[in-house]
Structure 1
């Protein structure tokens, strides 16, 4: 941390000494971003949370706004919505057969929140492709790691290999109770 220990109040030193390593890492990240002990303490003590505000195309992790381009944001939202609804991990469609139902669902989300017309049309016409899913999951991962470092791990994806056809299935690691959506 870039703060001299002698500049910290006794109360703050006490609070910091009681933090576990994860809380301390969140404190350091938040302090580096906001230059405020108060905000850093609040963020470090919050439970994990992922909040989507698609109307304003904003994403928040533990209250920290994470800038993300709209297409990866919509894909991330789609995975989060699936997780919150208790859906099974999503199996990537085969390369030969894109998922037209999931493509239509994602196109609808993008249409409602002013997504890119070209992407919407592609999803409607050709369905959801494994390549697009992989690309956008990787973009989400890259952005979260750039913004949060190792703290991003809880907000990324679990993956498993489907034994029957060797395709991968994905879902968010974060508990569904930690995901919320602004109207």
Structure 2
């Protein structure tokens, strides 16, 4: 922002300088042109003798001084209030290039070819600062706005990308739409279009959905979630919402008996669902969330009562409830349900994406049995 402001001020200053310079140059050029046109009428024809006539030269000098003592500026927005040519004197005839050089120094040189002399003086002008600063500010502002909205020139990388997109038979309209995106967004379009599981997604849908999300570097993990969501829904908008708007959360929608993982809804079989919910509540409501597996030779009736209460509260399967009440919670039963949970979630998410939402284990040093808990942080687990 500071850099842009500095550039604007510099442009404003340069514009003011050039405007004043151009105005002075225009005045001197106009005087010179009018002098050339009116030369024959400035002095009586009788003095054009071809030699130096002091009376004629004096007449010319006084005439020029009188005419150029005060110059009126006619302009819609005059940046010079008034000008005058001062210190007008007679010099030997000045060559064209010398006249041009001296004009760059804001000196007026008028040649008198009949007497082989030149009349020279310096231009003095008063600047109308209000008009100058105001007009150039508006001009610079218009230039800045125009430059802002002009398409930026293509970089080598962008040129290479366009060539690649044309090789994919993308239309000119699609490429133009692509050029409106930020560089990170363009990288996303390329990554999605080249992804084997996303190649069927319409290009227009890719561009429009990417344009609706803040630019961010291409993420392999987000690509995986996008591919998974598109496989499940075949809806580009919903797929982008899963990949970009949802986070690594595990939500239990108890009334519908489903889990929502990173925006993906998964329907589990009833009994594994309640075991998964039970582990999630342990993760939320205890300090560490670890659950020690029962002995292989002895059922745990305390844990069984917890599961029974949860199933009865939310309409669990009667057969599973009766089995727990009669036999207690066996290690084998817990292992079977954890494996079933892993199997059903992995079937939807794939092993790589599912791992963060499944179980981690550790061996208890005292009992040599294993503790299990959901690997995800308790802050990312919700119950609805």
- Say whether the fold is shared (TM-score over 0.5): yes
Taking the aligned partners of 1:122 and 1:130, their CA distance within structure 2 comes to: 14
Shift of 1:129: 1.1
Taking the aligned partners of 2:239 and 2:258, their CA distance within structure 1 comes to: 20
Taking the aligned partners of 1:85 and 1:141, their CA distance within structure 2 comes to: 22
- 1:7-55 Cα offsets, whole Å, 9 max, x none, are 2454556769733111110011001111122111111121111111222
- The 8 Å contact of residues 198 and 230 in structure 2, kept in 1 or not, is answered as no
**Corresponding pairs, count:** 182
Structure 1 residues 6 and 134: alpha-carbon distance in aligned structure 2, compared to 1, 3 A threshold: closer
Where do 1:103-114 residues align within 5 Å? Answer: 103-114=304-315
Larger Rg: 2
Shift of 1:165: 2.4
Taking the aligned partners of 1:133 and 1:87, their CA distance within structure 2 comes to: 21
* Candidates 154, 164, 168, aligned match of 2:366: 164
Taking the aligned partners of 1:85 and 1:138, their CA distance within structure 2 comes to: 23
Taking the aligned partners of 2:278 and 2:202, their CA distance within structure 1 comes to: 47
Shift of 1:125: 2.7
* Candidates 200, 225, 243, aligned match of 1:26: 225
TM-score (norm 1): 0.90
Helix, strand or coil for the counterpart of 1:95? coil
- The 8 Å contact of residues 209 and 237 in structure 2, kept in 1 or not, is answered as no
TM-score (norm 2): 0.45
Taking the aligned partners of 1:171 and 1:144, their CA distance within structure 2 comes to: 16
Taking only aligned residues, the RMSD between alpha carbons, in angstroms, comes to 2.1
Structure 1 residues 6 and 108: alpha-carbon distance in aligned structure 2, compared to 1, 3 A threshold: closer
Structure 1 residues 136 and 112: alpha-carbon distance in aligned structure 2, compared to 1, 3 A threshold: same
Q: Is 1:77 the counterpart of 2:277 in the alignment?
A: yes
> Where does residue 66 of structure 2 map in the other structure?
none
Which gives a bigger RCO, structure 1 or 2 (Cα 8 Å, sep 6+)? 1
> Where does residue 337 of structure 2 map in the other structure?
136
Unaligned 5+ runs, structure 2: 1-196
Taking the aligned partners of 1:56 and 1:119, their CA distance within structure 2 comes to: 19
Helix, strand or coil for the counterpart of 2:286? coil
